[in-house]
Structures are given as C-alpha cells and as structure tokens.
C-alpha cells in the first residue's frame, strides 16, 4: 500500500492544461481513483524521445473535473500562486528552504558513499575468498608465476589489491569523512516546501469539460479506466482494469440523446472495434438538462456493437 497524500490534492492549471507534478499524488490517483493521465515530461538533452516519458502528468479536463466533484482535488492557478508566493516570500523562509535542500543533498551524498563502501567491502571479501581457494605453490615457482597471475586478476580486484595491504588493513572512510564531502545539488520537482499550501477555493472551481463528459463520468463510475482514444478513432478507450495489466475493451463515443447520425458510422465503428478486438460503445445522457447530467452518471445509457461476419 502506497502513501496517501493530504487531501484534497492540488491540480496545477497552466495555460489551460491540468498537470500533476508529484509522483506520490499521481500514483495515488491511479491506484485509488482510476485516473491515468498522460506523462509528457522529456529529458532536456533528448527532446525528441517519445518512449519513456516522465513528470508532469497531464490530465484530461474530464479527469480533473471528476476529481474536483469527488472532493479529491482542487484546481490551483499555478502562475498566480508562484507570483504571489515570490512576492510574499521572506528572507528567512528562503534561507530555511535552501538549508533544507542542502541537508537533503548531504543525505544523498552520504547514502551514495555508504553504497560505495559496501561495494568495496564485498569486492575485498571476494578477493580474499579467491586467494584462500588458490593451492599453495613452491617458492621457486611463485616468482615465475607472478607475472602471469597478475595479468589474470580482474579489473575490479586490481582496484583494491596492493602488495603491502590486506583486506583488514584497508582504510575505509568514516561517517565523519563522508559528511564533509560536497553535498549533492538537489533540484526539487515541486515548490511545496517553498510556498505555503494554498487552501482549496470555496466553492471549488470546476474545469470546463466537453459534451462527452456524461459518458466519461458514467464509465468511470462503473470502475473503468479511461484514456484518450484518438489513435483508435474514438473519444475514450475503456479498460476494465489498469492499462498496464489489461487491454481496452471498448472504443467509446459520446452522442446527444436526440442527435441524428449516419448508420454507416455505426457500421464503421463496429467493424473498427471488431478489427482491433474491442467493442464499439456509444452512449449519451437521457436528460436534456445539462446540470442534471453532469452530477448524475446514472442518467446515461450506453449501447455496444460488435461486427460479426455472415
């Protein structure tokens, strides 16, 4: 069981897009509330890479809306918070924040030094066991065998082997010597420690959502994981579980209750869904009252199609 962040969590609004910058919040929402989002962070030195992406996690407006309605999150204007925070930031707060980063850097340096020391000890023990397992040779043969045996020593062992030192006499850095080493530079992913947490606005700000939100809320209430469906020509892909474990079951498209559409769209959707081993699902809200629709996922009806050969 992972850690549970303080609720409600902030969703950063930047240029009309909704982002999460905390990995703990992202994993919590995925685990407990079936919110996947899309990772869009890239490495500065490899801007073209599109396989392994990282934070921030971008949310669809529908995902942000449903989290706000459930009281799990609130919308935070990222630009306004940072502008107000920098103007009201006192020198002592700035100094305390820099000290916390420096302390975190020292701890990271100490942890790395401890790992190196452990690796060194393991290498010395391995060398000692290997030397103990070698058969004893006559003294006259040791001189001729020394050049050949020295060439066969592994590079890892050559780093620690010495003509006058033994594993017991090897000096290891103490904790005090590690503490005086240069601390690592820490680049925080969020500004939580710098600015005070902004309380949620009352009443909560609801993100603007497309007309397909009733269908999204309905499927989400049934336990589905939803992701954008552009690559399959639909609005949402509906997964019965986490997309890392399951294939999607439905290509979901929203329609108004009295909307007229071409029957060939149903045929095309059914054939497309069957071709990729998924069902084609179309749904819409029964009530024409938008306010009633957005607060009641049960007021949505859905129909699924499967194209079968004759």
Query: Known catalytic residues?
Result: 239, 247, 278
Residue with tokens 């921030």: 56
Residue with tokens 């690796």: 119
The 3-state secondary structure of 240-275 reads: CCCCCCCCCCEEEEECCCCCCCCHHHHHHHHHHHHH
d(CA 249, CA 238): 6
Q: Give the C-alpha distances (Å, rounded to integers) separating 226 from 16, 42, 138, 242.
A: 21, 23, 75, 9
Q: Give the C-alpha distances (Å, rounded to integers) separating 294 from 156, 214, 227, 284.
A: 65, 6, 19, 12
- Residue 10, phi then psi, degrees to nearest 5: -80, 140
Q: Give the SS3 label for residue 300.
A: strand
Residue 282 has which token pair? 């179309």
- Of the candidates 64, 73, 83, the one whose C-alpha atom is nearest the C-alpha of residue 7 is 73
- Of the candidates 14, 26, 13, 23, the one whose C-alpha atom is nearest the C-alpha of residue 72 is 26
Ramachandran class of 53: left when φ > 0, alpha when ψ lies in -120 to 50, beta otherwise: beta
d(CA 154, CA 121): 16
Pairing of strands 236-239, 225-228: antiparallel
User: Positive or negative, the Cα torsion across 276, 49, 185, 193?
Assistant: negative
Element (H, E) at 73: strand 73-77
């Amino acid at each position: 069981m992972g850690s549970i962040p303080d609720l409600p969590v902030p969703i950063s609004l930047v240029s009309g897009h909704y982002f999460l910058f905390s990995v703990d919040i992202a994993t919590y929402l995925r685990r407990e509330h079936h919110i996947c989002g899309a990772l869009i962070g890239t490495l500065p030195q490899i801007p073209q890479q599109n396989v392994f992406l990282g934070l921030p996690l971008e949310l669809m407006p529908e995902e942000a809306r449903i989290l706000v309605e459930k009281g799990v999150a609130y919308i935070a204007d990222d630009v306004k918070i940072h502008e107000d925070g920098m103007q009201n930031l006192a020198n002592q707060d700035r100094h305390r924040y820099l000290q916390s980063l420096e302390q975190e850097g020292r701890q990271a340096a100490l942890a790395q030094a401890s790992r190196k020391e452990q690796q060194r000890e393991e290498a010395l023990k391995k060398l000692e066991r290997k030397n103990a397992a070698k058969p004893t040779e006559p003294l006259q043969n040791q001189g001729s065998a020394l050049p050949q045996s020295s060439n066969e020593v592994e590079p890892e062992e050559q780093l620690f082997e010495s003509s006058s030192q033994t594993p017991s006499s090897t000096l290891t850095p103490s904790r005090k010597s590690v503490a005086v080493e240069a601390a690592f530079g820490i680049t925080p992913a969020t500004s939580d420690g710098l600015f005070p947490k902004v309380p949620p606005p009352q009443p909560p700000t609801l993100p603007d959502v497309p007309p397909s939100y009733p269908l999204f809320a309905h499927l989400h209430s049934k336990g589905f994981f939803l992701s954008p469906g552009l690559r399959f020509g639909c609005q949402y892909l509906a997964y019965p579980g986490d997309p890392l474990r399951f294939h999607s079951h439905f290509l979901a498209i929203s329609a108004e209750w009295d909307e007229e559409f071409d029957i060939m769209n149903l045929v095309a959707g059914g054939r497309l869904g069957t071709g990729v081993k998924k069902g084609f699902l179309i749904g819409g809200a029964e009530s024409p009252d938008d306010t009633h629709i957005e607060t009641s996922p049960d007021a949505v009806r859905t129909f699924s199609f499967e194209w079968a050969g004759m």
